[in-house]
Amino acid sequence: MRLDPNFVTLSVLVALLLAVGGWVSGGTYLSPFNLQSMAMQLPEIGFLAIGVMLAMCAGNGGIDLSGIANANMSGVASGIFTVAFFDAAQQPVVFTAVFAMGCMIVGTLGGVLNGLIISKLKVTPILCTLGTQMLFTGVAVVLSGGRSVAVGAHDPLYSIGNGTALGVPIGFLIFVGVVILLGVVLKFTRYGVRLMLTGANPKAAVFSGFPISRILTTTYAISGLLAGMAGVVIAARNVNVKWDYGTSYLLVAILIAVMAGVRPEGGYGRVVNVMLSAIVLQLLTSLLNFMGMSNFVRDLAWGLLLLCFLAVGRFAVIDRIVATLPSARSPRAPS
């Protein structure tokens, strides 16, 4: 079985960062509290990165630049509605369910809008999602008047962003569940196979009779749904939502997707690699914080990491290393 070079590289980096962090901090970096803290911060950017991955897999320069704006709009719109009609103190479970459902519905509708504009009007994805990014931000500003919308710290909503189950953050468990589900969908369903084939060879997909418009709309709808889920986690972690939250998340999500080996030209991407890539960035950020480095050094490290991954992909470094291993060599025919 051929090893995935990106999976190998990311797995090695995770182990290396954990080892270096534990050595530099004298073990504090590997404490349960710090590991839980990192895991709690991961889901919101992870959901957005998976959305970017799906859009890239669709090919034709596909990308979703509206993810964080959609997440903020979803949180603001759902937060205003839920706070107006439900009392979180008296109906915490209903409040949480309505808020989460509202976020996912609004996020999905935003994704459907992207998909329809791209598939029906043939607008370039980068231009379409750049436009809807500004649209979603404007809608959030108008709805909230530019102010934050408080959703409170009542369980079970608060637990989604800050609670744990058996020592593992609940938000991280939800994220892992989504990763597993999408991994199965992309690998074993007709939609997943057609998405990758469409991204790899759009002309062949057209002549094969694939419903290209439906595939694109579904893909961006799922990306919007993931943005809505990110909006839920953001609200749960911060007990409020605002139109300008996470302004740097867009570039980070794209960085995670590229590091995960997603092909910008389309046709290839693995959800598990996106998860590992997000973990690598989270571990690196926490390590730099432990070392007292500024945010400028963090940005430099991210840039160097991106260049390294581009070089690894360009020159197939991992493929060459794996090819030298005895297990990768084909057995000789018996004489």
Q: What is the pLDDT of residue 335?
A: 39
Q: Amino acid letter at 258?
A: V
How far apart CA 302 and CA 147 sit, in angstroms, is 32
Q: Are 92 and 100 in contact (CB under 8 A)?
A: no
211: helix, strand or coil = coil
Q: What is the pLDDT of residue 312?
A: 65
Mean pLDDT lowest among 110-114, 149-153, 176-180, 226-230: 149-153
106-112 average pLDDT score: 97
* pLDDT of 330 over the 70 cut: no
Whole-prediction pTM: 0.89
Where b means 16+ CB within 10 Å and e means fewer, 122-147 reads eeebeebbeebbebbbebbbebbeee
319-330 average pLDDT score: 52
The single residue listed with the structure tokens 């596909």 is 62
| Alpha helices in 239-331, H assignment, sequence order | 249-259, 271-290, 295-315, 317-323
Q: For residue 101, what are its two tokens?
A: 């459902």
Highest-pLDDT range among 109-118, 158-167, 298-307: 109-118
Instruction: Determine what percent of the chain is predicted with pLDDT higher than 70.
Output: 90
Q: For residue 44, what are its two tokens?
A: 């919101």
